Structure 1
């Protein structure tokens, strides 16, 4: 089944004036947009002759903000489904701004109650579920969306965002597990609809990151009628995205795993570009974009190209407008992090940022070989962690296009400590001695057995494609250096994520790009109750979990940082994971692209920049 009434005639309705009342939450402030007059609204800002050609390096999983876990699908979700808040396009450090909300939230003195007013006159794109009527976005839609994240039937990978936080919501979810039915009509104290356009959220404990969470894709509003129409048909919710955002999917042109087409939403309210930056690059963008009504791009064509060389050739041939230059291809275009002169002469632009990211090496703590907190299991994991040369991996797999990390909170994220030194450092000789001491004996073939004499073989998983292949080669060298057999396991990205969520993988490189720019978003990766969602290594260490609960009650600052240091040391002592690196993200843009800059948090910045018309 497909969403009905896909409209190609690009019109835009009046957008009311947005308040710029700001709430000081750390460094986060609001942004003022220029109002759009009725006269201006007569002509759509989105031009159907402006076509952006984009590329994904892995296949999408689908377009349901509550279920999609991968970065690429959520880039599409960002422009279809609208969150209450978002981020300014140019501000550094990042600034939280209203999106659907009229202004920043009113927060009670105890930081446990948030009151949010949403803009009037915002409508979902047409769908059969609405039975021919225009469907306005209301506060109740955000209540439904937040409840849905906790519905056991959905089993959302994002439930951790609000689990334990909203008064009465966890009890409602627990009841649903018993009855096998989530009661969406049940009123709970934590989610209060004050009036049609006002939402009040009551928290169990203070949460200083709630505004950031309400800017994250999974909280983008969905319509209950749409979900209920399609949810009983396998995969149909993922295939029928109906939101209020600037773009919408064209189902008839969607070829799964190959091609995704988005067109501008003709009823999107639009706004006037008025972002402020400080760098020379920002000044050029501001000069080119200031005062334009957005979005400008009428059609977005996304092709899935898994092979690095295919993407590079397509970009060189002008078949792709913006291209993510991953590590293996970096030498083709970059010299010491700068664009090569030949490409500069062609007018190619480079937007390069260190990602707010952590790539962590984990060992499945529920796996019979790797899991457990006994000394022999800790020794096995620690030996592998010490045997792995992170710098060598960065050079071989990413051509030096990454930064090694000692601390689990990366640069550019609140809570990062540049002076922290991990107790786990590269030392293969000590790694071999450790395995010898704890009974992992080498046989005549040079490979080790388990302490009980049974064979020891591990399965390292990576995504299909050149990077995954290089990763397995580097890790094979690591395991060979300490006499452990390693089996290569290359699988499709989406299948790997499914297996990981169910604690079925043994070990892999697991990258995590910030959902929101706060250290909490990284320390939660190792919190026991997040197993099955974000805790990829299925780690459950009671001491760590207790400290994490304490940390959530604190605002950013020295007291919380002290807890984070203790938590990092606990992870090192038990070696449930090994901190790896943060990659640079290099985005190349053709000369016809106007005003593009990679944002550190938003993926799918298509509503913020422009392209020249197709010739």
Structure 2
């Protein structure tokens, strides 16, 4: 989005700086006049710094402002068109797959899924795309990598890899995508999509076994606690069904007919990874200083991370080698032109030179600073911040007048997502269960809890009525949601009356299930001891979360179950999951 249209409060002094450079420092400003007059986006983050900036393992929304700005998957979504439309990013096109039957015969595009044995994607890669300058690519006049054999004297003092004087680049090639897909099998990296994608890529499971064995050999004589590990070079292995037959052509074979596969290629799990970056970060002393792809990404995107102070500040700066051919779209949805969304048609991207993301622990100071002009956005990765402002405007005429005077804009959009409670499937009490009898008892316990959790009440109290209870994993608005069918009604938690009204099952029904599970009134039928369950919560306990956590405990208490809440910061929560 063009900087001139960023959601921000108007600061008259800033305008004077741009025109006359005669304005003094803004009182109590955290930014200098030079910073405020630059083409910089200032925005905060809450909690702790992002945990995973390695695209193979990154899956959390607080990481996406970094990963999707630094890395480039093959595809992206059109910025303005709805429903979302896949378009090329580093790919030169979004080709249709070639379908083959069991005998290897080519099938028509509309072939039924049960006839398709293999889908082949041949994806051309744009030429001339360069990686952002990085020490991993630097070579001497003989073509040798100058930063791949650094002494520990150098690495133990290094905090920012860009501090090394020699940097280089090279062109993006299809092999970088092959290498990235191979990394899904790396036992040193936990990729959240491996369990899903392994059933679709023919050779992935076999490669995973080979890589695990090779990793064991590399670690054979090393202490289990050692962080510096020898470079696990995946170029040594072939991945059946994934190859680069030409320097700028990627070929991927997918089992059967899997229409969703191109959507995976728009995610950073399939972003290119240069082997040089892994070799560079595998040097002794790097891990101790958190020098890895998790902290210092290497990509071809419009930005590169140039400063990273954990839990304090992260700065992304325009990639000086980013191509000039990426342009703002000239078409969108009906009405976009009238809204001004097409005013920047054909302008090179990105519009902003620098993005500074600073830590803000508390919501009240964050909002105050935003209203005073310290931040251009109250939180860049969240779409729901505007709800709080809208509620404030509805409750206070003064706030409504203030927000209008500051020219704050609140464009509305429906965001499709789910909030849910997850049960640990390995837990002997609420998980799957080891025997048929235990499985049935555990299922009834989970069902009793699901009934007792009054999400209708939660929505009214904590979401201000701006949500709806889920009856299945697909929320309204997503393809596949059927409000009239079984997916639109959960018979385990709700009853449907003759007139079609859906109501939550009674607490008595939940208590009956609880007794059948072996816990009448929340006590173990055999021992008489109270049932205590633990909830790992994804935020540290604070005044802001206390009301929610108290509400959770009250829901379990309705069944006589004691809920032990183990609140933690989000990074630690990701480790537990």
What TM-score bracket applies, with the shorter chain setting the length? 0.7 to 0.9
CA distances 1:477-501 after superposition (whole Å, capped 9, x unpaired): 101111111112210001011101x
Secondary structure of 2:170 counterpart: coil
In 2, the alpha carbon distance for the partners of 1:128 and 1:307 equals: 37
C-alpha change, 1:212 and 1:390, in structure 2 (3 Å) is same
Q: Paired residue for 1:434? A: 513
Offset, 1:283: 3.5
Given the alignment of the two structures, is residue 119 of structure 1 paired with residue 196 of structure 2, yes or no? no
Q: Please, which of 124, 144, 151 is the counterpart of residue 179 of structure 2?
A: 144
Q: Paired residue for 2:388? A: 329
Asked whether the equivalents of residues 328 and 399 of structure 1 are also in contact (C-alpha less than 8 Å), the reply is no
Secondary structure of 1:109 counterpart: strand
Pairing 1:524-539 to 2, within 5 Å after superposition = none
In 2, the alpha carbon distance for the partners of 1:371 and 1:63 equals: 31
In 2, the alpha carbon distance for the partners of 1:438 and 1:171 equals: 41
In 1, the alpha carbon distance for the partners of 2:389 and 2:458 equals: 15
Asked whether the equivalents of residues 161 and 213 of structure 1 are also in contact (C-alpha less than 8 Å), the reply is no
CA distances 1:552-590 after superposition (whole Å, capped 9, x unpaired): xxxxxxxxxxxxxxxxxxxxxxxxxxxxxxxxxxxxxxx
Secondary structure of 1:362 counterpart: coil
* Structure 2 unmatched ranges of 5 or more: 1-35, 101-117, 140-167, 217-231, 434-438, 495-503
* Structure 1 unmatched ranges of 5 or more: 1-46, 501-615
Pairing 1:188-199 to 2, within 5 Å after superposition = 188-199=239-250
Offset, 1:476: 0.9
Q: Paired residue for 1:381? A: 446
Pairing 1:185-584 to 2, within 5 Å after superposition = 185-231=236-282, 233-234=286-287, 235-237=290-292, 238-251=294-307, 254-270=308-324, 271-280=326-335, 283-323=338-378, 324=382, 325-326=384-385, 329=388, 332-333=391-392, 335=394, 340=400, 342-373=402-433, 374-419=439-484, 420-423=488-491, 424-425=493-494, 426=504, 427-442=506-521, 448-449=523-524, 451-462=526-537, 463-464=539-540, 465=542, 468-500=545-577
Asked whether the equivalents of residues 327 and 398 of structure 1 are also in contact (C-alpha less than 8 Å), the reply is no
CA distances 1:232-255 after superposition (whole Å, capped 9, x unpaired): 64342212211100001113xx22
CA distances 1:261-280 after superposition (whole Å, capped 9, x unpaired): 11111110032212423254
CA distances 1:296-321 after superposition (whole Å, capped 9, x unpaired): 10111112324222322221121121
Asked whether the equivalents of residues 43 and 376 of structure 2 are also in contact (C-alpha less than 8 Å), the reply is yes
Q: Paired residue for 1:163? A: 198
Q: Please, which of 89, 105, 118 is the counterpart of residue 99 of structure 1?
A: 89
Asked whether the equivalents of residues 182 and 239 of structure 2 are also in contact (C-alpha less than 8 Å), the reply is no
C-alpha change, 1:467 and 1:379, in structure 2 (3 Å) is farther
Offset, 1:437: 4.0
- Number of matched pairs: 447
CA distances 1:459-478 after superposition (whole Å, capped 9, x unpaired): 22221255543331221110
CA distances 1:128-177 after superposition (whole Å, capped 9, x unpaired): 22124431100000000011012122222232353122232221112222
In 2, the alpha carbon distance for the partners of 1:120 and 1:76 equals: 24
CA distances 1:68-94 after superposition (whole Å, capped 9, x unpaired): 232111221101011000001111100
C-alpha change, 1:428 and 1:276, in structure 2 (3 Å) is farther
CA distances 1:408-467 after superposition (whole Å, capped 9, x unpaired): 11123221122311111333222123223443134xxxx533654343111222212555
Secondary structure of 1:353 counterpart: coil
Offset, 1:394: 1.7
Q: Paired residue for 1:513? A: none
In 2, the alpha carbon distance for the partners of 1:436 and 1:65 equals: 46
Deviates more, 1:179-188 or 1:104-113: 179-188
Asked whether the equivalents of residues 57 and 191 of structure 2 are also in contact (C-alpha less than 8 Å), the reply is yes
Larger Rg: 2
Asked whether the equivalents of residues 48 and 299 of structure 1 are also in contact (C-alpha less than 8 Å), the reply is no
CA distances 1:578-608 after superposition (whole Å, capped 9, x unpaired): xxxxxxxxxxxxxxxxxxxxxxxxxxxxxxx
In 2, the alpha carbon distance for the partners of 1:408 and 1:351 equals: 27
TM-score by length of 1: 0.68
TM-score by length of 2: 0.72
In 2, the alpha carbon distance for the partners of 1:454 and 1:257 equals: 43
Offset, 1:332: 4.5
Secondary structure of 2:410 counterpart: strand
In 1, the alpha carbon distance for the partners of 2:421 and 2:242 equals: 38
CA distances 1:488-527 after superposition (whole Å, capped 9, x unpaired): 2210001011101xxxxxxxxxxxxxxxxxxxxxxxxxxx
C-alpha change, 1:482 and 1:244, in structure 2 (3 Å) is same
Asked whether the equivalents of residues 312 and 359 of structure 2 are also in contact (C-alpha less than 8 Å), the reply is yes
Asked whether the equivalents of residues 129 and 171 of structure 2 are also in contact (C-alpha less than 8 Å), the reply is yes
